[in-house]
Chains A and B, each alone.
Chain A
Amino acid sequence: GESVGLHLPTLSVQEGDNSIINCAYSNSASDYFIWYKQESGKGPQFIIDIRSNMDKRQGQRVTVLLNKTVKHLSLQIAATQPGDSAVYFCAENIGNNDMRFGAGTRLTVKP
């Protein structure tokens, strides 16, 4: 079946470097995507979203890129800080607000 997935389960970066977290999706009908950040013992926190009619969207220190041709979504975090350490996962709307969630990538920021 079609599902949301991630290329890497873990990512370790040096403080101050840029981080890139990837997500592959296979449902070509998905029209809306979200990135969430989840810290240990807490609920997911909305970071940024993008609709399928866009290929890039920027927020504060974060950028989401959408490549519909290869069904790929990425989250870029600029100047990564220790407080960015968390699990990041993507979600896709496959229709009628039916969201499908990836398992996540654990980002660790080394001081």
Chain B
Amino acid sequence: DGGITQSPKYLFRKEGQNVTLSCEQNLNHDAMYWYRQDPGQGLRLIYYSQIVNDFQKGDIAEGYSVSREKKESFPLTVTSAQKNPTAFYLCASSIQGLGQPQHFGDGTRLSIL
């Protein structure tokens, strides 16, 4: 089955540590996205990538970094500069072009030790 796989499902970060969240898709989608979900709030865009080797900052990029070396992979690193990293992180992908639905993975819940 085609889909988006996020790992790990749960992740714990120690103070001063960088952690990397994995996102892999086999839908052959060009565009990929990272969102942060906090209780009672809508999804907020961290970074997005419309094509391999290119990505742009979203609304809350500070303290995060990404790479897009392969079409199917879009890992997100939560750096020690992100002072409030506890959240549910969602990766999505879509076909390139206007008005295309984004399809989501099942998320990674990041907590602070």
Contact = CB atoms under 8 A, between A and B. Distances in A.
Interface of A: 3-4, 31-32, 34, 36, 41-46, 49, 51, 89, 91, 93, 96-104
Given A32-B99, A43-B90, A97-B31, A103 B104 contact: no
11 contacts: A31-B99, A41-B107, A43-B4, A43-B104, A93-B98, A93-B99, A98-B45, A101-B42, A102-B42, A103-B42, A104-B42
Contact of A97 (B4, B40, B100): B100
A16 B94 CA distance: 34
Given A34-B101, A43-B90, A103 B107 contact: no
A97 B98 contact: yes
Nearest to A9: B40
A99 B33 CA distance: 11
Interface of B: 4, 6, 31, 35, 40-43, 45, 90, 94, 97-107, 109
A36 B37 CA distance: 14
A70 to B, nearest CB: 21
B100 to A, nearest CB: 7
A42 B102 CA distance: 15
A95 B42 CA distance: 18
Contacts of A44: 43, 90, 104
Contacts of B98: 31-32, 93, 96-97
Contacts of A4: 42
A98 B35 CA distance: 12
Contacts of A49: 99, 101
Contacts of B102: 34, 46, 91, 99
Best-surrounded residue of A4, A42, A101 (most CB of chain B within 10 A): A101
